A and B are shown apart, each in its own frame.
Chain A
Amino acid sequence: MVDNNTIISIRDVVKRFGSTVVAVNDVSLEIKQGEFFALLGPSGCGKTTLLRMLAGFESPTEGQILIDGEHMEGVEPNKRPVNMVFQSYAVFPHMTVHQNVAYGLKVTGTPKSEIDDRVRESLSLVQLEAMAARKPDQLSGGQRQRVALARALVKKPKVLLLDEPLSALDAKLREQMQIELVHLQKSVGITFVIVTHDQNEALSMADRIAVMEQGDVLQVAPPSELYEYPNCRFVADFIGKMNLFDGTVAGIKDGKVLIRVDEFADQLSNLVLPHNEHAKGEVGIAVRPEKIRLDENEPEDQQVRLKVKVTEVVYYGDESHLFLESTGGARFAANLKNEARDTHAEIVSGKELWVSWRPEDTLVLSS
């Protein structure tokens, strides 16, 4: 079962707190060597608990965890080949930056000469050589986070665990750190497992993402697959923006699926979509806002088209988000690029437009 490419195997892991709280519910995951893996999900879905089980601070109620082929049951946190970057960083306030980074080497009896070299190397990796003598209270939040990173990386772990490492940083710094983390991960070649509730963070950084909800892993996929082919309503809705409708499969004709959506019915009797294995009975119909085309005149060439009225325009600078409603009561969100300074000035609430999209961009989700 274990191919030598797998660094972490999580097998049927359940974690209960007390008798009522099920924090992690029968999760199985394989994480590959050198991968940047993200655990993504809303607050309270069990991400931190799963990560803490990898680090050894919690033990699974059921199931097994293998790291690099070794069973981790009963292995103390200080004996595991993983290191963690804590959400609060947990940089020791009574030690200098250098002492913080050296701590993990000192306690395991690394020779003094080697410690200094490795600390210097690790600090340069996060560009903090100049701050080695400082105490944590003389550092900014971003710098403290780098210390936490350097402190974990200096141990050369097989896996680096990061619990919402960027959540305490402001938006600009966060974006910069996202890029730095990815570069860092590629350069050191260590497997990163990052916990986040920020989908943009996960999409932009990770090689693969596991979406969690209420203790369950719903889908594990690379970012683009997750975004374009979500496997359920929750994932579709949670990742990015989505126009979601309820539909019923009306029949199959010439290898195409006919789906009836009540809100479209006054203009479109059936959606005619390419064959889809989920298309049975009640389904969810979804289309991303950026896949929706907007026209002033009826786009005769588009087969899926609806006449709508603008209900609201929200301006974001580079683009505007339009909220639209059809005569049948279907509500859409669509994006409009502001390519020139004065484009789209005429698009205001109440204006009539046409929305259309390609049938193959439509997602059919089993309910």
Chain B
Amino acid sequence: MENWRNNRLVFAVLALPPTAWLVIFFTVPLLIMWVYSFAERGPQGQINLAINLANYARAVEWIHLGIIWKSIWVAAITTLITFAVGFPLAMGIAFAPARWKNVLLLLVILPFWTNLLIRTYAWIAVLRTRGFLNFGLEWVHDKLSTLFASIGFPELMGEFEALELLYNQKAVVIGLVYVYLPFLVLPIYATIEKLDKSYLEASLDLGAGHWRTLFSVTMPLALPGIASGCLLAFILSMGTFLTPALLGGTDSEMIGNLIARQFSSSRDWPFGSALSFLLLYLTFIILWVRASLAGRKDGPI
């Protein structure tokens, strides 16, 4: 039993289905896309296999570069906010009493049990002009108005004006932070959980306060997890398309939406393929930078 790896037949039989699955449904489509990216769009949206780099040249035109840049920017902001929220959360779970840990972890991954589309629509219900958040604010506003009126300042609060929370860049960032928070929390939690707690005690013992310990010991030692979590959040939000499509405004288009449009309304598969591969290369570069930083002997990670 132990040596089933050495039994070539068993190994082949076990390895065949997943390999076949990956080849047929992943590698082959990817190859087709790759070939398409060098093709041309015909007048009716058909694909003419004229091998050239025209699609890539188009992809780096200013208008498209602008969208790519915005995607990177939105992803960066999202990652930053997700980290600001997620790191304390991960710490909190890692240092929570043992019997609370599983419950808290469950709460973090609970959203995955519902479809993303539904969860995103839920955000619309929360954020829109006549949504739950504005209702809540209006309620507080009304109560305060009555309160001030009762003590003689009826005009102090003015009319309630609903906040424009939906269909703009802010809504996209809120939605993205929400969606990718678990992806950032889990790797960070895992590294902090594994961390030998005597490092933290040693730091306290040597006279450092809790904040100093956090910045000089906990965070540097958790850096691999922090890097993984942040990269995951960054890469995933850079390629996202559902959140900006549903929560964003006209100026919120990200590279994911641009690509999606090529495959739907624009019917320009070759250009869509080229954009997809550009995104893929970008991701590879980021991962490569991270890997080489991690591999460096006395590197920060």
Contacts and interface: CB of A to CB of B under 8 A. Distances in A.
Interface string B94-116: 00000000000000000000000
B198 A78 contact: no
B2 interface: no
Interface residues of A, number: 23
A90 B199 contact: yes
A79 B204 CA distance: 9
Given A107-B212, A135-B298, A77 B196 contact: no
Contacts of B198: 86-88, 90
A83 B205 contact: yes
Prevailing SS type, chain B contact patch = helix
Contacts of A78: 204-209
The winner among B207, B221, B298 for most chain A CB atoms within 10 A is B207
A90 B209 CA distance: 17
B206 A83 contact: yes
A104 interface: yes
A155 interface: yes
A108 to B, nearest CB: 5
Contacts of A55: 201, 205
B224 to A, nearest CB: 11
B19 to A, nearest CB: 38
B202 A86 contact: yes
A57 interface: yes
Give the one of B205, B212, B220 with max A CB within 10 A.
B205
Contact of B196 (A79, A90, A104): A90
B205 A88 contact: no
A245 interface: no
A107 B221 contact: no
Interface string A42-63: 0000000000000101000000
A238 interface: no
Contacts of A92: 199, 202-203, 217, 221
B216 to A, nearest CB: 7
A107 B208 contact: yes
B214 to A, nearest CB: 12
Contact of B207 (A93, A94, A108): A108
A87 B202 CA distance: 11
Interface in B176-216: 196, 198-199, 201-209, 212, 216
Contacts of B298: 135
A190 to B, nearest CB: 15
Contacts of A93: 221
A103 B206 CA distance: 7
A103 B207 CA distance: 9
A90 B207 contact: no
A106 to B, nearest CB: 9
A212 to B, nearest CB: 22
A104 B221 contact: no
B205 A84 contact: yes
A48 to B, nearest CB: 11
Interface residues of B, number: 18
B202, B216, B217 — which one has the most chain A CB atoms within 10 A of its CB? Answer: B202
Contacts of A88: 196, 198
Given A57-B201, A86-B201, A90-B202, A155 B207 contact: yes
A151 interface: yes
Contacts of B202: 84, 86, 90, 92, 151
Contacts of B205: 55, 77-78, 83-84, 152
A40 to B, nearest CB: 22
A117 interface: no
B221 A94 contact: yes
Contacts of B212: 107
Most chain B CB atoms below 10 A, which of A57, A90, A135, A152? A90
A148 to B, nearest CB: 8
Interface string A148-173: 00011001000000000000000000
Contact of A77 (B199, B204, B220, B221): B204
B291 to A, nearest CB: 19
A290 interface: no
A54 to B, nearest CB: 11
A266 interface: no
B196 A94 contact: no
B216 A103 contact: yes
Most buried by B among A86, A87, A94, A155: A94
Contacts of A151: 202, 206
B90 to A, nearest CB: 19
A76 interface: yes
A77 B220 CA distance: 22
A142 to B, nearest CB: 18
A292 B267 CA distance: 101
B219 to A, nearest CB: 10
A155 B206 contact: yes
Nearest to B198: A90
A182 B212 CA distance: 33
A108 B208 CA distance: 7
Contacts of B204: 57, 76-78
Contacts of A77: 201, 204-205
Nearest to B219: A94
7 contacts: A57-B201, A78-B207, A86-B201, A88-B196, A107-B209, A152-B206, A155-B207
Interface of A: 55, 57, 76-79, 83-84, 86-88, 90, 92-94, 103-104, 107-108, 135, 151-152, 155
Given A88-B196, A90-B199, 13 more contacts: A78-B204, A79-B207, A84-B201, A86-B201, A92-B203, A94-B221, A103-B203, A103-B206, A104-B206, A104-B208, A107-B209, A151-B206, A152-B206
